Structure 1
Amino acid sequence: MAGYAVVLGEALVDLLEEPAGDSVIYRPAVGGAPFNVAVGIARLGVRSEFLGSFGDDPWGPRLLRFLTDAGVGTGGTVTVPGAATTLAVTTFEGHEPTFRFYGDPPSYGLFDAPFVDADLVAGAGLLYCGSMCLLAPPVLAAARRAWAVPGPVRVFDPNVRPVVGLNPEVVAEFAATADLVKLSSADATALWGESPEAAAGRLLDLGAGAVVVTTGASGALVACRSGRVRVPAPPITAVDATGAGDATMAGLSWGILARGLPGDLGSWAVLTRVAVHVAGLVCESRGGAVSMPTLAELRARFVDLAV
């Protein structure tokens, strides 16, 4: 399957907590779930294009430059005068991050429907939408416009942030026509108070073509019409789980573009195995987008992985 990915969503700056003697410091890193996904796809060797809004402070150009340097197209982005780049203060329990977001209005929440390049979306092999940006009415309108464009494989990641808010109705709306929904077990709990199995069944009943639920160190649950299977995570030494779910989404998206949309449970399982290895490698470094691997790095780290 040829083509490129269009990724619509937020870009921001993560302030990552690190110990410094008896205190802590906060190290800035570019991020945002869709931003990470776009970078991850490009690093694996498939073209991706980013759609989103950016602040006009010093961080806005830095985020755009990072995308460009990673091979991500930025022709569909807008820079908003007077907007300050959203910050995500990130604290850790072990290697698991917790986020609090600062910026009102959020710089990523200013991308509206008229900004969507429908021709760019129509020519794509895959369209990604999701994450907390959909809580911003302009971005939700933009995502709905892009989602309605026929042609691309449609992948959706709720990637909910309870501290920002939840909208299960929006999740159901996009999941109903998605070829793939990727979510975490934490998303399933936050949205519906359900297990990964129950959440996967719910999403399939809504109309999703396939569902991948990441379950941290135990890997992922894969579900489609023909059944369900567990895919184990690789053994790693985790340092920082920031961006792990985004890396899984990038791996899945790359696989769909490189190999085609899986047609059965076995094919989904093979693709998901690659994706959780991408996530595992990301967890061995600090930060999200900065840790997204190339295909060569993935092969070098996991020599037994058929990729």
Structure 2
Amino acid sequence: MGYAMVMGEALIDLLEADLDGERVYRQAIGGAPLNVAVGVARLGGEARYAGTVGDDTLGDRIAGFLRDTGVGDRGVRRVPVPTTLAVTTFEGAEPTFTFYGEPPSYTLLAPADLDPAEVAGAAVLYAGSICLLRRPFLDAARAAWAVPGPLRVFDPNVRPTLLPGAAAVTALRDLVEEFFATADLVKLSAADAATLYGEPDPAAAAAHIRSLGAATVVVTDGARGAHLATADGAVTLPAPKVDAVDATGAGDSVMAALISRLLSEGGPTTPGHVDFALSVAGLVCERRGGATAMPTPADLAARWGIS
């Protein structure tokens, strides 16, 4: 089956909640790439994580959580800075993130920290998300992306609160298009596409990204489902009906599910793979938290009758 090498940020989400009428913040382990790695492992695939984690109590919790969930942690580097916090507020089930900690603990992975043989041996390499906004992590991601062998999957995971103005958006668009051009699979949300291109239509955004060189593009659109574009054509697939309480990690669970299918069945991504991913995301939306909400095959069988 092979393994997935997942690069990116790990941090602590502080999730806004109500406790006896008082607003509180519940701690949860998160970061989009970490969520993806945990999601792959929970679905039965082998995931290995590469990234930097603060050398503090919160970093200890993240490192322990990775071990407990079966994610390979040889690529984890501990760094002498406080673990980054993401304060998460909600409009309905949709989260908005504000980040605290300078320098961000997740940005300090350097090219020399990578094991090129481990990257080359992966069946799938994941890169993307907010860690690409800073060096040296960007240099490490570029170095891994240049290693031949794995299927390359990418998620820009745009966070508007980290983009102070039009120039920052333009710079991010140029950066992610560098990765789009050679990606085997790009997954992004309709909100990501709107920020990057001012394009609210998932089909138009997917067609544009494919024109840049991406082999397959999946654009998620919340309760409306997802749009899949490949060399064989394009199709929009509906999402299952759920009672969403927290969409934190839903997009990451889509990526995790798509990677799990790439590991078990190979490429290219099919409508069946996307249907499966939307079922995974639907279950995640019915739970609270990011990484801790990622389901197992038994969870999927119990909720949807699938595995």
TM-score, normalised relative to structure 1: 0.96
Corresponding residue number in structure 1 for 2:299: 297
Corresponding residue number in structure 2 for 1:208: 214
What is the CA–CA distance in structure 1 between the aligned matches of 2:67 and 2:238, rounded to whole Å? 34
2:11 paired with 1:5 = no
What is the CA–CA distance in structure 1 between the aligned matches of 2:262 and 2:99, rounded to whole Å? 32
2:223 maps to which of 183, 203, 217: 217
Alignment of 1:33-182 (within 5 A): 33-81=32-80, 83-165=81-163, 166=169, 167-182=172-187
Shift of 1:235: 1.2
User: Deviations along 1:72-94, whole A, 9 cap, x unmatched?
Assistant: 0110110012x100000000111
Shift of 1:236: 1.1
Contiguous gaps of at least 5 residues in structure 1: none
What is the CA–CA distance in structure 2 between the aligned matches of 1:139 and 1:164, rounded to whole Å? 16
Corresponding residue number in structure 2 for 1:29: 28
**Structure 1 counterpart SS, 2:74:** coil
**Structure 2 counterpart SS, 1:75:** strand
Shift of 1:268: 1.2
What is the CA–CA distance in structure 2 between the aligned matches of 1:224 and 1:258, rounded to whole Å? 20
Corresponding residue number in structure 2 for 1:183: 188
| Aligned AA (1:289) | A
Shift of 1:129: 0.2
Corresponding residue number in structure 2 for 1:244: 250
Shift of 1:22: 3.6
What is the CA–CA distance in structure 2 between the aligned matches of 1:259 and 1:300, rounded to whole Å? 23
What is the CA–CA distance in structure 2 between the aligned matches of 1:156 and 1:29, rounded to whole Å? 24
What is the CA–CA distance in structure 1 between the aligned matches of 2:86 and 2:22, rounded to whole Å? 19
Shift of 1:21: 3.6
| Aligned AA (1:122) | A
Corresponding residue number in structure 2 for 1:229: 235
| Aligned AA (1:197) | A
Shift of 1:170: 1.1
**Structure 2 counterpart SS, 1:76:** strand
Shift of 1:257: 0.4
Shift of 1:106: 0.2
What is the CA–CA distance in structure 2 between the aligned matches of 1:3 and 1:143, rounded to whole Å? 20
The alignment-based identity, stated in percent, is: 57
User: Deviations along 1:271-306, whole A, 9 cap, x unmatched?
Assistant: 000001111111111001001011121122101x4x
Aligned residues between the structures: 299
What is the CA–CA distance in structure 2 between the aligned matches of 1:206 and 1:227, rounded to whole Å? 16
What is the CA–CA distance in structure 2 between the aligned matches of 1:3 and 1:177, rounded to whole Å? 21
What is the CA–CA distance in structure 2 between the aligned matches of 1:177 and 1:300, rounded to whole Å? 38
What is the CA–CA distance in structure 2 between the aligned matches of 1:164 and 1:203, rounded to whole Å? 22
After TM superposition, the runs of 4+ consecutive aligned structure 1 residues lying more than 6 A away are: none
TM-score, normalised relative to structure 2: 0.96
What is the CA–CA distance in structure 2 between the aligned matches of 1:103 and 1:192, rounded to whole Å? 29
| Aligned AA (1:7) | V
Contiguous gaps of at least 5 residues in structure 2: 164-168
For the aligned residue pairs, the C-alpha RMSD in angstroms reads 0.9
User: Deviations along 1:233-271, whole A, 9 cap, x unmatched?
Assistant: 111111100000000000000000011112xxxx61110
What is the CA–CA distance in structure 1 between the aligned matches of 2:144 and 2:275, rounded to whole Å? 29
User: Deviations along 1:36-70, whole A, 9 cap, x unmatched?
Assistant: 00000000001100000010110111101101110
User: Deviations along 1:88-114, whole A, 9 cap, x unmatched?
Assistant: 000011111111000110000111111
